[in-house]
Amino acid sequence: MGAPLKTLDERIVLEHLEELTRLTDTAGGEVVDVVRQWIDAPHPRFYIGQGKVDELRERVEAESADLVIFDEELSPAQGKALEDRVGVRVMDRSELILDIFATRARTSESKMQVELAQLQYLLPRLKRMWTHLSRIRGGVGLRGPGETQLESDRRLIGRRIGDLRKKLVGVAQAREIQRRSREGSFRVSLVGYTNAGKSSLLRALSGSDLFVEDRLFATLDSATRSVPLGGGFEVLVTDTVGFIRKLPHHLVASFRSTLEEAHEADLLLHVIDASHPDWEEQKEVVEEVLETLELTERPQVLAFNKIDRLSHGEEAALAQRTRALESTPAVFVSALDTGTLDGLKSVLKARIRGGLQHLTVRVPAQDGETLALLYREGEVLTQSHDGTMLELAIRVAPPAWGRLSRISGLELVREHGPPA
């Protein structure tokens, strides 16, 4: 059910409703009818007009539908009034997204995050939910980790929310320890609109067997993989949960600990579905979420994915358009064609080099262990020897040099200017 304001472009509204259809399919539902109404402002009681509510009830009866989904967020009072008038379960986009997340969560952390978001969203709607739980079990919008809590009273739910928050703090602390163990590695976080192909791109870059499906929110749990770039360079790339229009703020808040990986990243790789007709709007949605998460200042590279779906002319026009409009570097790739990934790897290597220290060091010629460490931790540019000592010009990440500089017998000869 869509009830957009008259100021919105009709093409955008249709795209929003198409996306809502895909969300419904992802949740396991089947769309049998679509109802739209142009309004100047939401009706305080029903969101849509009273006449449209009556039409909606007739459509529901004609199609024997058992659920109505609104693309706009409904207040608890509006949801209750609509259900009383229409006679079936009514939910909005936010609740539908929460339900999808409940079915996609795999790790204990993501399950706790989804449950917390569900409870925070449903708490003001508890009275209405009780009514449904007494007559319906399971189905879209009524499943997942939070289901048992919905049968408890507000005090117990409040206690459960507090308990989940404490547990997630503990998980965040453990995650911080994991992040510290990665110090010295160049870290990249994939961000982007849901179904832009982030997981497919990570699988293509790393060669690992990641779950990929052509559905919205196909993957929910973050994954980190080592990606070799050639020339002795490698990066750690982390996939993150996809963003979407009207992403529930409770969900963003609950997944903040997972998205902290992006805060620690040296680079954000913003993956964009180049084949999508509204990629610019999707890009803006991602940028708005990044602003909410205070991530807009992180270095970024745009990765226009799925160029295999474009003609050569369309790809050339897109490249020209991005050069004219964007100050952010852009690359054009296809997760299905590994040959297109070379440009991206070159950009990542250049970013790594830009953050390395350029040093000249000396090490005893017989100290093979230290020599092996220098080759493993840094990039050896030149090497010479005078019989007893080896002199090497190296590029190395600052954290790695901090560890290497403490090795007995390793001597810093000079530190060069900005790396070439």
DSSP secondary structure string for all residues of 164-176: HHHHHHHHHHHHH
> Does the pLDDT of residue 183 top 70, yes or no?
no
Strand stretches in 214-332, DSSP E = 223-230, 233-239, 267-273, 300-305, 330-332
**Residue % of the chain over a pLDDT of 70:** 82
What is residue 391's predicted lDDT score, i.e. its pLDDT? Answer: 93
> Does the pLDDT of residue 210 top 80, yes or no?
no
The token pair that represents 148 in the structure block: 């048992």
> Does the pLDDT of residue 221 top 70, yes or no?
no
What is residue 325's predicted lDDT score, i.e. its pLDDT? Answer: 64
Mean pLDDT across 381-401: 86
What is residue 3's predicted lDDT score, i.e. its pLDDT? Answer: 56
Please state, as a whole number, how many other Cβ atoms lie within 10 Å of the Cβ of residue 235: 24
What is residue 135's predicted lDDT score, i.e. its pLDDT? Answer: 43
Average pLDDT, the chain: 82
Give the best-scoring range by mean pLDDT among 96-100, 201-205, 248-252.
201-205
The CA-based dihedral angle spanning residues 152, 155, 160, 165, taken in that order and rounded to the nearest 10 degrees: 150
Closest residue by Cα to residue 355 from 400, 294, 314: 400
Please state, as a whole number, how many other Cβ atoms lie within 10 Å of the Cβ of residue 5: 12
Q: Supply the pTM of this predicted model.
A: 0.77
What is residue 130's predicted lDDT score, i.e. its pLDDT? Answer: 47
Residue type, 133: L
402-406 long-range Cβ contacts below 8 angstroms, 24+ apart: 403/184, 403/377, 404/373, 404/374, 404/377, 404/378
Task: Measure CA of the first residue to CA of the last residue in the chain; give whole Å.
Answer: 57
6 burial type by CB count under 10 A (0-12 exposed, 13-18 middle, 19+ buried) = exposed
Mean pLDDT across 390-413: 86
List domains and CATH numbers for the chain: 10-97 (3.40.50.11060), 100-167 (no CATH), 183-353 (3.40.50.300), 355-415 (3.30.70.240)
> Does the pLDDT of residue 308 top 90, yes or no?
yes
Lowest-confidence pick of 37-51, 147-161, 405-419: 147-161
* Integer Cα distance of 203 and 354 in angstroms: 26
Lowest-confidence pick of 17-26, 143-152, 158-167, 393-402: 143-152
pLDDT tier for residue 364 given thresholds of 50, 70 and 90: very high
Closest residue by Cα to residue 272 from 193, 189, 215, 190: 193
Mean pLDDT across 342-366: 90
What is residue 2's predicted lDDT score, i.e. its pLDDT? Answer: 62
Residue type, 302: L
Give the best-scoring range by mean pLDDT among 304-308, 350-354, 394-398, 404-408.
304-308
Mean pLDDT across 95-113: 83
Three-state DSSP at 69 gives strand
Tell me: the pLDDT tens digits for 37-68? 988 889 999 999 999 999 999 999 999 999 99
Lowest-confidence pick of 24-33, 89-98, 251-260, 276-285: 251-260
Mean pLDDT across 134-139: 46
